[in-house]
Amino acid sequence: MNSSLVTSPLTYRKLLILFSQILLIGLAYFCAFLLHLNFHLEEPAWKLFLDTLPFIAAIKLIFFYRFGLLRGWWRYTGMSDLLDLTQAALASSFIIYCLTRLFFSSVRHSRSLIIIDFALTILITGGARFAVRAYTETVGTVAAGKRTLIVGATQAGRALAQELRQNPELSYQPVGFIDDDPRKKGIKINGIRVLGTTGALPHLISVYEVARVIIAIESTEGKQVEHVIDACRECNVDFKILPPISERMNGTQISKLRNVRVEDLLGREPVRLETEAIRRKLSGKSVLITGAGGSIGSELARQVASFEPARLVLFERSENDLFNIWTSLSARYPHLELVPVVGDILDVGILRETFAAQRPECVFHAAAYKHVPLMERSCFQAVINNIFGTYNVAVVAKQYDVEDFVLISSDKAVNPTNVMGVTKRVAELIMLGLQRQGTKYMAVRFGNVLASNGSVVPIFERQIAAGGPVTVTHPEMKRYFMTIPEAVQLVLQAGTMGHGGEIFVLDMGEPVKILDLAKNLIRLSGLETERDIKIVFTGLRPGEKLFEELVLDGEHMGTTRHNKIRVLQSGEVKYEDVAAWLHDLSSLANSKNVNGVISKLKEIVPEYTPSMEMRILSELDHLDIALINRSRQVDLWMGTQGVA
CATH number at residue 170: 3.40.50.720
436-445 average pLDDT score: 86
335-355 average pLDDT score: 95
**Residue 115 forms part of a structural domain:** yes
Q: Please tell me whether residues 408 and 289 are part of one structural domain.
A: yes
Predicted local confidence at residue 203, as pLDDT? 87
Query: Out of 60, 240, 256, 412, which one is annotated catalytic?
Result: 412
Predicted local confidence at residue 591, as pLDDT? 85
In this predicted structure, which of 46-55, 58-67, 114-123, 264-273 has the lowest mean pLDDT?
264-273
421-431 average pLDDT score: 92
Between residues 76 and 208, the one the model is more confident about: 208
**Residue 266 forms part of a structural domain:** no
433-447 average pLDDT score: 86
Phi, psi torsion values for 198, nearest 5 degrees: -65, -25
pLDDT over 50 (residue 250): no
Instruction: Name the β-bridge partners of 533.
Output: 529
Predicted local confidence at residue 625, as pLDDT? 44
3-state class (DSSP) for residue 344: coil
Q: Please tell me whether residues 246 and 295 are part of one structural domain.
A: no
Predicted local confidence at residue 191, as pLDDT? 73
Closest CA relative to residue 425, chosen from 368, 360, 506, 495: 368
Q: What band does 297 get if pLDDT is binned at 50, 70 and 90?
A: very high
pLDDT tens-digit readout, 135-158: 665 554 445 567 888 888 877 788
214-233 average pLDDT score: 74
pLDDT over 90 (residue 39): no
Judge whether 256 counts as a catalytic residue: no
pLDDT over 50 (residue 168): yes
Predicted local confidence at residue 556, as pLDDT? 65
Q: Please tell me whether residues 622 and 498 are part of one structural domain.
A: no
Q: Which residue blocks in 37-140 are alpha helix, DSSP H?
A: 43-66, 79-103, 110-137
Q: What is the Cα–Cα distance from 284 to 332, expressed in whole angstroms?
A: 18
Q: Please tell me whether residues 326 and 293 are part of one structural domain.
A: yes
DSSP string, 19-31: HHHHHHHHHHHHH
Q: Please tell me whether residues 597 and 558 are part of one structural domain.
A: no
Average pLDDT over the chain, rounded to whole?
78
Q: What band does 497 get if pLDDT is binned at 50, 70 and 90?
A: confident
**Residue 490 forms part of a structural domain:** yes
Between residues 146 and 268, the one the model is more confident about: 146
In contact, 408 and 449? CB cutoff 8 Å: no
pLDDT tens-digit readout, 448-461: 767 666 667 778 87
pLDDT tens-digit readout, 515-546: 877 887 887 777 778 778 888 888 877 666 67
- Provide CB contacts within 8 A for 19, sequence distance 6+: none
Between residues 247 and 133, the one the model is more confident about: 133
In this predicted structure, which of 128-132, 331-335, 552-556, 604-608 has the lowest mean pLDDT?
552-556
Q: What band does 259 get if pLDDT is binned at 50, 70 and 90?
A: low
Between residues 555 and 592, the one the model is more confident about: 592
In contact, 120 and 31? CB cutoff 8 Å: yes
Predicted local confidence at residue 394, as pLDDT? 94
Q: Please tell me whether residues 394 and 501 are part of one structural domain.
A: yes
Bin 587: left if φ > 0, else alpha if -120 < ψ < 50, else beta: alpha
Predicted local confidence at residue 77, as pLDDT? 63
Q: Please tell me whether residues 196 and 298 are part of one structural domain.
A: no
- Provide CB contacts within 8 A for 411, sequence distance 6+: 445, 446, 447, 448, 480, 508, 548, 549, 550
Q: What band does 642 get if pLDDT is binned at 50, 70 and 90?
A: very low
Q: Please tell me whether residues 379 and 497 are part of one structural domain.
A: yes
Closest CA relative to residue 502, chosen from 405, 375, 635: 405
Predicted local confidence at residue 95, as pLDDT? 83
Last residue of a domain, one of 203, 230, 260: 260
Between residues 243 and 284, the one the model is more confident about: 284
Q: Please tell me whether residues 230 and 310 are part of one structural domain.
A: no
Peptide bond into 469 cis (omega under 30): yes
Q: What band does 568 get if pLDDT is binned at 50, 70 and 90?
A: confident
Predicted local confidence at residue 550, as pLDDT? 59
Predicted local confidence at residue 6, as pLDDT? 42
In this predicted structure, which of 421-430, 515-524, 548-557 has the lowest mean pLDDT?
548-557
Q: Does the reported pTM lie above 0.75? A: no
In contact, 456 and 517? CB cutoff 8 Å: yes
Q: What is the rounded (10 degree) CA torsion for 76, 78, 84, 89? A: 100
Q: Please tell me whether residues 152 and 42 are part of one structural domain.
A: no
Q: What band does 264 get if pLDDT is binned at 50, 70 and 90?
A: low
Question: Amino acid identity of 175?
Answer: V
Q: What band does 345 get if pLDDT is binned at 50, 70 and 90?
A: very high
Between residues 338 and 642, the one the model is more confident about: 338
Predicted local confidence at residue 69, as pLDDT? 73
Predicted local confidence at residue 3, as pLDDT? 43
Q: What band does 322 get if pLDDT is binned at 50, 70 and 90?
A: very high
pLDDT over 70 (residue 391): yes
Between residues 631 and 77, the one the model is more confident about: 77
Per the structure, the complete domain to which residue 299 belongs is given by 275-448+483-507+550-580
Peptide bond into 458 cis (omega under 30): no
**Residue 532 forms part of a structural domain:** no
Q: What band does 565 get if pLDDT is binned at 50, 70 and 90?
A: confident
Predicted local confidence at residue 425, as pLDDT? 92
pLDDT over 60 (residue 270): no
In contact, 407 and 390? CB cutoff 8 Å: yes
**Residue 297 forms part of a structural domain:** yes
Predicted local confidence at residue 407, as pLDDT? 94
Last residue of a domain, one of 232, 260, 288: 260
Number of domains in the chain: 4
Last residue of a domain, one of 106, 137, 168: 137
3-state class (DSSP) for residue 136: helix
**Residue 6 forms part of a structural domain:** no
pLDDT over 70 (residue 618): no
**Residue 405 forms part of a structural domain:** yes
Predicted local confidence at residue 454, as pLDDT? 61
Q: Please tell me whether residues 363 and 297 are part of one structural domain.
A: yes
Predicted local confidence at residue 643, as pLDDT? 38
Between residues 52 and 488, the one the model is more confident about: 488
Count other C-beta atoms under 10 Å from residue 279's C-beta.
17
Q: What band does 63 get if pLDDT is binned at 50, 70 and 90?
A: confident
Q: What band does 447 get if pLDDT is binned at 50, 70 and 90?
A: confident
Instruction: Taking each helix axis as running N to C, give the angle between helix 43-66 and helix 79-103, from 0 to 180 degrees, rounded to the nearest 10.
Output: 130
**Residue 463 forms part of a structural domain:** no
Q: Please tell me whether residues 25 and 130 are part of one structural domain.
A: yes
